[in-house]
Amino acid sequence: MENRDIIKGVIFDLDGVIVHTDEFHYLAWKQLADKIGVYFDRTINERLRGVSRMASLDIILERSDAAFSDTEKQLLADEKNDTYRELLKTLTPADVSADVKSTLAALRQNGLKLAIGSSSKNARFILNQIGLENYFDAISDGNNISKSKPDPEVFLKAAEYLCLKSEQCIVVEDAEAGIQAAKNGGFTAAGIGGASKYNLTDISLNLLSDLLKYV
């Protein structure tokens, strides 16, 4: 049987796939790191893709000599999130590329169910900013999971919300942790950006619209 007979749904990571909030994450973490005197650059930032907020902070604090209590870490994460959300307010529907918009429309027209599978607790806020809050059939995000990528929970929940099995869904990801999560959950993993080149990636995408060749 061909892929297009088996696949009934597509689960999209949000940051780095639907919209590029990754630069805002970088700017907000950089501001915090500079304030507490910890070295942080874009190479370290790549390790934060798809990783939860607290796990991201732990990666940044690897370079700190100071020990932070859980309460102090929570305050630092909150401060970063405040900065990040201020930046998110500048997002508009124009920040979604024409390629993303036309691909979503074509997939929907082909009868596929569409979901978001994002680690972010700000996913609904972001979707609202870019005008896609009511577009997806299901949203699974950082608020409905207890384990973050590479654990497959966020994608398994998305498939459950779509009433589909893992093997009926393609997951589209830009992060290594996300590709691992997709494979751990039994999904077909499509990678875009840096994730197009990972060993575990089943389908390499240059543009999101390349997905239309497979469904």
Cβ closer to ligand B16: 6 or 101? 101
What is the rounded CA–CA span in Å between residue 51 and residue 34? 21
Nearer to ligand B16, 2 or 61 (CB): 61
Q: Cα Rg for the chain, rounded, in angstroms?
A: 17
Binding residues for Mg ion, rule: CB under 5 A, are 13, 15-16, 50, 174-175
Going by the DSSP 8-state scheme, the letter that residue 8 receives in this structure is -
CB of 53 closer than 8 Å to CB of 113: no
Candidates 7-15, 35-43, 161-169, 198-206: pick the segment binding ligand B16 (CB under 6 A).
7-15
Question: Which residues inside 22-81 make contact with ligand B16, applying CB under 6 A?
Answer: 25, 48-53, 56, 81
Q: Which is nearer to Mg ion, 35 or 147 (CB)?
A: 147
- Asked whether 45 and 60 are in contact (CB, 8 A), the reply is no
By the 8 A CB rule, do 54 and 75 touch?
Answer: no
The answer to whether residue 115 forms part of the interface with ligand B16 (CB under 6 A) is no
Footprint of ligand B16 on residues 155-184 (CB under 6 A)?
Answer: 175
- Partner from Mg ion, ligand B16, none binding residue 118, C-beta < 5-8 Å depending on class: ligand B16
Q: Which residues contact 196 (CB under 8 A, 6 or more apart)?
A: 204, 205, 206
Q: Which residues bind ligand B16 (CB under 6 A)?
A: 13-16, 25, 48-53, 56, 81, 118-122, 142, 175
